[in-house]
Amino acid sequence: MAIKLADMYVDLDLRTAGFQGQMAAANASMAKGTVAQRGMQKSTAKTGMLMGKMATVAKVGAAAVGVGLVLGAKKAATAASDLEEAMNKVDVIFGRSAKNVTKWSEDAAEKTRRDRSGRC
């Protein structure tokens, strides 16, 4: 058993102006999205260039540290050579008493908190 509630009529009016307007708005939105995408691409490219520059700076910094280490090692080697030469002079000048003079200099350096070369 069926009950009839109402009759329905459908009138299709093919007015496309509203649809065309919405499509134009969607296309404009897509174009803006494309502009945004281009902006992101430019930003990404700039970030890549910045990272490349940072890598170059890091390489220069590492080279500078390396040069500093080499110069420091040279300075340390020179200081060791100077100390060895001074110790040889003590041996030559004081002969058999050189061990006593060396011990005295070590005790004096310890008491005055200086290294054996006389520096603080």
**pLDDT tens, 90-111?**
889 999 899 998 899 888 888 8
* Beta carbons of 90 and 101 less than 8 angstroms apart: yes
Report the predicted TM-score, pTM, of the whole model to 2 decimal places.
Answer: 0.43
Does the pLDDT of residue 83 top 80, yes or no?
A: yes
Question: Which whole number is the average pLDDT over 29-41?
Answer: 69
Does the pLDDT of residue 69 top 60, yes or no?
A: yes
